[in-house]
Amino acid sequence: MGSDRLLVIGAGPAGLEAARLAASLGSQVLVVEKRDVAGGMPIHENYAALTHGFRDAGEAMAELIGAVTSHPNVELRTSTEVTAVEGSVGEFTVTLSSGTGDDTVEAGAIILATGFQHFDPGRETQQYGYYEFPDVITLADAEAMLKAHNFVRPSNGEVPERVAFIQCVGSRDRQIGNEFCSKVCCGISSKQAIEVRQQVPDARVFIFYIDMRMYGYWENEIYWPAQEQYRVNYVKGIVTEILSKNGRLLVRGEDTTMGRPMEVPMDIVVLAVGMEPSLGTRKMAEMLGVATNKYGYIETPHGELDTVATSVPGVFAVGAATGPADLDDSISSAGAAAAKAVALLRGAEVTV
Amino acid sequence: MTQRVNPKVEPERVIELEEVVLEGMDISGHWNRMFEQRVIWDYDVDAMDRIIDLDGGESFGWCYQCAQCVAVCPVDHVGSYGPRKLVRWVQTGMDLFTSPELWLCTTCANCLRVCPKEVNLMEVMPAVRKEAVMAGHVPAELQDVFEKTARYGNPLGKNPKRRHAWTKGLEVEVPLISDLGRKVEVLWWVSDYPAYHPRGIDASRALARVLHRLGVDFAILGPEERHDGDSMLRAGEEGLFEMLAEHNIEVLNRYEFDVLLTTDPHAYNAFLHEYPKRGGTYNVVHYSRFLADRIDELGLTEEISQKITFHDPCYLGRHNGEYDAPRELISALPGAELVEMWRIRENGYCCGGGGGGMWLDGHAADHQRMRLSEKRVLEAVETGADTLCVVCPYEVSRFEDAVKSTNNDGRLQVLDIAELLAQAMGLPTD
């Protein structure tokens, strides 16, 4: 075996957790992050509170970043990209590029933690007028406003009276090509609905959905409190289109439980955009030659009992690089990948 | 008033007033025809807020529209009403406080049985109705009963001094506890319909004979007893309930007895769950259980060669868990065969009399295809039974009316279990 170093690509929650665990198991870890700060989407997209425990995102991520950077076995390089990979399991040669020039490092195993990007609701269709109406925003936009405690109509800075969330934007859609459920949006919309009600108590919040996918404890920890304590109104039936009328947004669709057409004015409409593989995920997959599925996510082809090994020996993938994942999923897969990678570096047999 | 103008139009959404004169212009009939708004323009969230802000109204906001309740709501089977629909109508702005829909729920509790979110209409309905009652939004027929009950102590508006008149001419003694001046083993809480309604009286006289044959040391309150108030509470007249409960507790606390025997499951419910909160705690037993525990002593010797079906009262069964006692008694009748309807026990269909429904038949008729009691009688007939046996005094009159209105006169008789027992014991009849 050439190198006993583990390379983690991506310093989001999954990458950081994989690095922390591998380091604490005694391995040398190099974490490479293309952005200038670690923390991944929760930091980059200004998350307010984490789903599902409502913990402050900045605080939680700072703790994780601190655990990684303070560990003597870890080196974290930000503003650094992987530009070439050669070799195979046990002896990868990786070229890293940064503002200060190129560098070559050896690694025995690689963990891909390159994550997702939010679906751009203006990309495929202008059904909801995301590019047209300033008050039509995405979950990520709303998250940033909530973090700043400034949840107002982008068009005029006014406090909204009516806020609507539209679920499944860019997910579960054959025409768009994302046939999968993005798994987290129902929970995040409901979490944000609660935060809107906390920050703007006079605003009323509506969530238009196909079916609420609040699996596990999200049901009782998010969905039920949103409905019962915060009086969020759940309306079954996805909005078909958004029009502008008298300076407000008119959401049009069917209230399916009433069996009647619905045209209701709103001040802010939040599109619950789903996940897509990030550009980094696509690029790294191609560079490393790991198989991806038709949606561009990295495949973990070994079935339910090995969720982190890819088609290339010595290369593991974690978190939302392999498909829609919430934080719990990402942290769990990071742990699994760290353990398997460390075992591999030590020459232990790990069967899958 | 409305007519079908086009098969594609839902008739209930067509509004057409028979006679309208507007500024001297006669626009009667189709000249004023309008169609109800189809598009939902807005969601008035205040309509729901006003309910969930009430004590007891909270759970109305918990519904997530799973719709399990609708399949077991007895009202839904005869109209367009249903608990989850009611929630959704309110969520879209319907003012339940002034809506006729407020008075359709019989508090039968079958929706709560199947509700994963524990939306409790048994609490919501009284809370909303209480506000409606205070604001004067009460169907006239129910208001009339409230007033009669307040004035006379019974919903029939009968002379309270003659509450024990049903005992006249009985060959067995039914003493008033006030006359005995001593402790009794059993104080029998007779209730209103058993004291005043002709068919209720038949059952009371039968039960008096049965108790006498058993050698039970019993007495009644007679004029001192007033309506238990349970149904008034469900119908939103909390003040009236408090007044009745206060009086009844004061009277009951005056006497010594081991068992408070109730004929009426609604009274049974009040004594179990409401009176103790107000200082009235008694060893209350429904007569079906009291008699079932004494089956061997009843001396059931006479053949009752009938097919008998049994209707579970909501306030005995679902509300208080007693399903077996009446069935034990029916099964003990010599020669009788118990044939069950398809909705029984926990899933028993409501007769329509609970929650104030006893006094809202006119209102219900305006909003339902048929009475719940009629629906139930048809189910009873379907079993091929000769007799529909009941153990709730609201039911004899309701079901007998329904037998007539569904043209089943002569095909099905409605009898209280006490009447059947008295017959099987060879006791005299009137």
Q: Is the CB of B40 less than 8 angstroms away from the CB of A228?
A: no
Same domain, A174 and A242: yes
Q: Is the CB of A206 less than 8 angstroms away from the CB of B41?
A: no
Same domain, A154 and A96: no
pLDDT grade, residue B368 (50/70/90)? Answer: confident
Q: Is the per-residue pLDDT at B300 higher than 90?
A: yes
Residue keyed to tokens 């295809």? B369
C-alpha A284, offset from chain centre: 17
Q: Which of A250, A274, A298 is the last residue of a domain?
A: A274
Same domain, A123 and A259: yes
Structural domain includes residue A44: yes
Task: Give B199-258 pLDDT, tens digit per residue.
Answer: 999 999 999 999 999 999 999 999 999 999 999 999 999 999 999 999 999 999 999 999
Count how many domains chain A has.
2
Q: Which of A228, A247, A274 is the last residue of a domain?
A: A274
Position B349 scores a pLDDT of 96
Q: How far apart are CA B271 and CA B252, in angstroms?
A: 11
HEC string of B341-385? CCCCHHHCCCCCCHHHHHHCHHHHHHHCCCCHHHHHHHHHHHCCC
- Could you tell me if residue B260 is left (phi over 0), alpha (psi between -120 and 50 degrees) or otherwise beta? beta
Please tell me the distance in Å from A175's CA to the nearest CA on chain B.
28
pLDDT grade, residue B3 (50/70/90)? Answer: very low
Which among B42, B61, B62 is the nearest to A264, CB-wise? B42
Structural domain includes residue A47: yes
Q: How far apart are CA B265 and CA B230, in angstroms?
A: 10
* Cα distances (Å, whole numbers) of residue A75 to A15, A69, B45, B50: 13, 7, 54, 59
Position B352 scores a pLDDT of 95
Report, as an integer, the average pLDDT of B26-31.
Answer: 85
Domains in chain B: ranges and CATH: 1-36 (no CATH), 46-137 (no CATH), 150-226+239-292 (3.40.50), 295-424 (3.40.50)
Report, as an integer, the average pLDDT of B330-355.
Answer: 97
**Residue numbers of the domain that contains A89:** 5-115+278-345
**Smallest Cα–Cα separation from A344: which of A9, A14, A91, A77?**
A91
Q: Which residues of B touch A236 (CB under 8 A)?
A: 65
Structural domain includes residue A350: no
* Cα distances (Å, whole numbers) of residue B134 to A120, B95, B109, B263: 54, 16, 25, 31
Same domain, A282 and A296: yes
Please tell me the distance in Å from A263's CA to the nearest CA on chain B.
5
Q: What CATH number is attached to the domain comprising A321?
A: 3.50.50.60
Position A107 scores a pLDDT of 97
Q: Is the per-residue pLDDT at A274 higher than 50?
A: yes
Position B367 scores a pLDDT of 87
Same domain, A260 and A145: yes
pLDDT grade, residue B5 (50/70/90)? Answer: very low
**Smallest Cα–Cα separation from B346: which of B376, B391, B316?**
B316
Apex B321 CA angle, B316 and B324, nearest 5: 85
Please tell me the distance in Å from B169's CA to the nearest CA on chain A.
60
In this structure, chain A runs to a length of: 352
Residue B335 backbone phi and psi in degrees, to 5: 80, -10
pLDDT grade, residue B2 (50/70/90)? Answer: very low
**Smallest Cα–Cα separation from A163: which of A268, A273, A272, A271?**
A268
Q: How far apart are CA A109 and CA A267, in angstroms?
A: 50
Which among A236, A260, A262 is the nearest to B65, CB-wise? A236
- Percent of chain A, pLDDT > 70? 98
Apex A213 CA angle, A207 and A216, nearest 5: 125
Which among B52, B61, B88 is the nearest to A257, CB-wise? B88
Structural domain includes residue A351: no
Q: The whole model's pTM is what?
A: 0.91
Tell me the average pLDDT of chain A: 95
Same domain, A149 and A47: no
Chain A residues with at least one Cβ partner in B under 8 Å: 204, 206, 212, 224, 227-228, 231, 233-236, 255, 257-258, 260-265
Position B263 scores a pLDDT of 98
Secondary structure (3-state) at A290 = coil
Q: Is the CB of B40 less than 8 angstroms away from the CB of A263?
A: yes
Secondary structure (3-state) at A161 = coil
Apex A202 CA angle, A200 and A205, nearest 5: 80
Task: Give B318-337 pLDDT, tens digit per residue.
Answer: 999 999 999 999 999 999 99
Q: Which of A213, A247, A274 is the last residue of a domain?
A: A274
pLDDT grade, residue A350 (50/70/90)? Answer: low
Structural domain includes residue A89: yes
Residue keyed to tokens 């039936």? A237
pLDDT grade, residue B6 (50/70/90)? Answer: very low
Position A273 scores a pLDDT of 96
Residues 6+ apart with CB under 8 A from B60: B48, B51, B52, B87, B90, B119, B121, B124
Position B33 scores a pLDDT of 80
Same domain, A192 and A54: no
Residue of B nearest to A226 (CA): B62
Same domain, A83 and A105: yes
Residue keyed to tokens 């994780």? A64
C-beta of residue B113 within 8 angstroms of C-beta of residue B127: no
pLDDT grade, residue B20 (50/70/90)? Answer: confident
What number of H helices and E strands is found in chain B?
A: 19, 12
Position B80 scores a pLDDT of 79
Q: Is the per-residue pLDDT at A236 higher than 50?
A: yes
Same domain, A162 and A206: yes
pLDDT grade, residue A349 (50/70/90)? Answer: low
Q: Is the per-residue pLDDT at B34 higher than 90?
A: no
Task: Give A317-329 pLDDT, tens digit per residue.
Answer: 999 999 999 999 9
| Radius of gyration of chain B, Cα coordinates, nearest whole angstrom | 23
Position B355 scores a pLDDT of 96
Task: Give B126-169 pLDDT, tens digit per residue.
Answer: 999 999 999 999 999 999 999 999 999 999 999 999 999 999 99
Residue of B nearest to A220 (CA): B117
**Smallest Cα–Cα separation from B62: which of A5, A232, A202?**
A232
Same domain, A10 and A82: yes
Q: How far apart are CA A294 and CA A178, in angstroms?
A: 9
Structural domain includes residue A352: no
Tell me the average pLDDT of chain B: 94
Structural domain includes residue A221: yes
Q: Is the CB of B41 less than 8 angstroms away from the CB of A227?
A: no
Higher pLDDT, A52 or B77: A52
Apex B337 CA angle, B334 and B341, nearest 5: 145
C-beta of residue B210 within 8 angstroms of C-beta of residue B298: yes
Position B4 scores a pLDDT of 40
- Determine whether B34 is exposed, middle or buried from the number of CB atoms within 10 Å of its CB (0-12, 13-18, 19+): exposed
Same domain, A131 and A270: yes
Q: Is the per-residue pLDDT at B24 higher than 90?
A: no
Structural domain includes residue A341: yes
> At B153, which helix (H) or strand (E)?
none
Residue of A nearest to B42 (CA): A264
Which among A212, A228, A235 is the nearest to B61, CB-wise? A228
Q: Is the CB of B48 less than 8 angstroms away from the CB of A234?
A: no
The separation between the first and the last C-alpha atoms of chain A, rounded to the nearest angstrom, is 21
Q: How far apart are CA B151 and CA A64, in angstroms?
A: 74
Report, as an integer, the average pLDDT of B353-362.
Answer: 96
Task: Give A122-176 pLDDT, tens digit per residue.
Answer: 887 778 999 999 999 999 999 999 999 999 999 999 999 999 999 999 999 999 9
Q: Is the CB of B52 less than 8 angstroms away from the CB of A258?
A: no
Residue of A nearest to B58 (CA): A228
Same domain, A150 and A254: yes
> At A41, which helix (H) or strand (E)?
helix A40-44
Please tell me the distance in Å from A120's CA to the nearest CA on chain B.
29
Torsion angle in degrees (nearest 10) through CA of B235, B240, B241, B247:
-160
